[in-house]
Amino acid sequence: MTYSRAKSAADRLMNDRLFVGKRYFDLFMMVLIILSVVMLLAEMDGSQIQLPLGLYAVEDLLLSIFVIEYLMRFWVCSDVGRDYKTALQGHHHHPIVIVVAGIYAVIRGKIRWMILPMSIIDLLAILPMFRVFRAFRIFRLLRLFKLVRYSHSMESLFLIFKENAAELLVALAFVGLIVVISSTFIFMLESGAPSTQIHTLGDALWWSFVTITTVGYGDTIPTTGLGRALGVLLMLGAIVAIALPSGVLASAMTQKFISMREGKLTMKKFRNHVVICGWNNSAEQLMTELLVHHHMKSKWDIVAVTLKPASEIDNQTVLLKHGDFTKESVLLDVNIADASCIIVVAEELRGISDESIDARSFLACNLIKNINPQSHIIAQLLNRENAKLLEQTMDSVEIVISDDITGGLLSNSIINPGTSKLVNTLIIQNKDNITKIPISKLRGDFSTYAEVFAYCRLPKNNWLPMALERDGELEINPKDDFAVTAGDNLFYIRTESES
């Protein structure tokens, strides 16, 4: 395994939410964290029970795993080579200045990750590896906060706190203001009274806080009539004061769940994901095929942008964004600029003709190209004339014409019986037989198609070549003397055992 592939695998394991391996990794780490905290509580137990020496070895093992995890996250948090090369671009200074700029860019990328809240918690949790910090049990207890990273539910809860921080601060400031005012008044009313229990401002603050939170320990109570009247007012005010932050959180959580269900969330942090613009039977078939091939679906986050109601979309297989994919703001919400592939399907909506459906797809393709010029777009159109117009407008768009494919397949089945069964076996019945590979990745030097064909038919391969692709153009079943270049791509049929 190469360095880049190893780093990519580590990144997927720790950061790719749709990767099956990450789910098992998260569960494994959560078990280790809970086990570590349970062992800490056992050590802190005041009983005289002697703990087995093996438990200390287990603690060292857990600490080692947490250290390895931290180092892996530090490794994949940024691309050192890319950061260094990016920093060098456009510099025409002294070589030493250029090198320093590159090193600074690399260090900055790592430091940005290290100062993130979860990264700081990870670091504090592994500090006991140094003997000087072994006695500070609080660092080991901080491992509980690592659960936020591995539990999606806890992460969502913290995200709600973050998104509503301003409203919560206002509500808490209001509660704090009431506590300060009531503490001042109760201190003025009670400090000089006989047999008073409130002698200092600290006692007054304690009483106000306990009263407004409706805990009411009863260890400190006012003795004067005015003091008790103030206590009654504070108790009544507590109903409103405590309801404010509770209401903010309840409203935020309800809105979050509604947004998740109706597809109103934004996905601006996604990278290298697949976006499906529209939804129809073809999109459903696509998701079915990807579910059969788990290794394919786990490569990407898949987002569907559609105007159809959420009840018609299977949210278990695709992330839903409810909106019009012909609007730039909606495309930006799913971070179309960093998508690896965009599929525009012919979405049928009530009251829209076939021409209007193609017009929406045409507009979406143009918008996507303006936002992400390097994007790989696959467009499904209904009319061949519209397909020709789109081909003339944009060169790098793959176009699928539904009616042409169906009509051509039916006519070929009449002339050559069995054609539909062949096509169905190759591309529909989950065989995953047709494969594309760059000529440069084949082992050997090839100058003609005959040499490529001979390589494919070797017993160790047993492939059947179909076509060559050059600059987006296909050459079906080329002649033996057809010249092959390193930039060509080969389409071939794999044996069923490889699929």
CB 283 within 8 A of CB 301: no
Domain of 465, CATH number, reads 3.30.70.1450
- Average of per-residue pLDDT across 163-186: 84
Q: Measure CA of the first residue to CA of the last residue in the chain; give whole Å.
A: 22
83 shares its domain with 15: yes
118 located within any domain: yes
- Average of per-residue pLDDT across 301-321: 78
25 located within any domain: yes
Residue written as token pair 């494994």 = 28
pLDDT level of residue 316 (50, 70, 90 thresholds)? low
Where are the alpha helices (H) located in 2-79, listed in sequence order? Answer: 3-15, 20-44, 53-76
What's the total number of domains in the chain?
A: 4
| Weakest-pLDDT range from 257-266, 422-431, 468-477, 490-499 | 257-266
Q: How far apart are CA 96 and CA 100, in angstroms?
A: 6
85 shares its domain with 193: no
Task: Summarize pLDDT for 228-287 with one digit per residue, the tens.
Answer: 888 888 888 888 777 777 777 777 777 766 665 555 566 666 777 889 999 888 888 888
Assess whether pLDDT exceeds 70 at residue 432. Answer: no
Q: Report percent pLDDT > 70 for the chain.
A: 81
Is 360 exposed, middle or buried, given 0-12, 13-18 or 19+ CB atoms closer than 10 A? buried
Domain of 226, CATH number, reads 1.10.287.70
Where are the alpha helices (H) located in 90-223, listed in sequence order? Answer: 95-114, 117-126, 137-141, 147-150, 152-163, 165-190, 201-212
258 shares its domain with 333: no
170 located within any domain: yes
pLDDT level of residue 215 (50, 70, 90 thresholds)? confident
| Domain span holding position 448 | 433-498
254 vs 355, residue with greater confidence = 355
The pLDDT of residue 295 is 46
Q: How far apart are CA 224 and CA 203, in angstroms?
A: 15
CB 234 within 8 A of CB 208: yes
Q: How far apart are CA 273 and CA 287, in angstroms?
A: 14
Strands (E) located in 242-356: 274-277, 302-306, 319-322, 341-344
Read off φ and ψ for residue 380, nearest 5 degrees. -100, 120
Q: How far apart are CA 32 and CA 28, in angstroms?
A: 6
314 shares its domain with 186: no
204 shares its domain with 138: no
Ranges 43-47, 288-292, 474-478, most confident: 474-478
Q: Report percent pLDDT > 90 for the chain.
A: 6
Q: How far apart are CA 467 and CA 489, in angstroms?
A: 8
Task: Summarize pLDDT for 356-372 with one digit per residue, the tens.
Answer: 898 999 999 999 998 98
- Average of per-residue pLDDT across 47-53: 59
Three-state SS at 394: coil
pTM of the predicted protein model:
0.51
Q: How far apart are CA 378 and CA 43, in angstroms?
A: 60
The pLDDT of residue 337 is 87
Ranges 4-13, 88-97, 194-203, 445-454, most confident: 445-454
Angle between helices 3-15 and 20-44 (to 10 degrees): 70
256 shares its domain with 289: no
Out of 119, 150, 181, a domain closes at 150
232 located within any domain: yes
Task: Summarize pLDDT for 442-476 with one digit per residue, the tens.
Answer: 888 888 999 999 998 888 888 888 899 888 788 89
* Strand-pair category, 377-381 with 397-401: parallel
pLDDT level of residue 89 (50, 70, 90 thresholds)? low
Task: Summarize pLDDT for 440-451 with one digit per residue, the tens.
Answer: 888 888 889 999
158 located within any domain: no
342 shares its domain with 477: no
221 shares its domain with 283: no
Domain of 372, CATH number, reads 3.40.50.720
7 shares its domain with 125: yes
Single-letter code of the amino acid located at 410: L
The pLDDT of residue 412 is 77
Helix (H) or strand (E) holding 226: helix 225-262
Assess whether pLDDT exceeds 60 at residue 299. Answer: no
422 located within any domain: no
Out of 110, 127, 150, a domain closes at 150
Reference 361, options 384, 332, 381; nearest CA is 381
290 shares its domain with 391: yes
145 shares its domain with 181: no
414 located within any domain: no
105 shares its domain with 232: no
66 located within any domain: yes
The pLDDT of residue 294 is 46
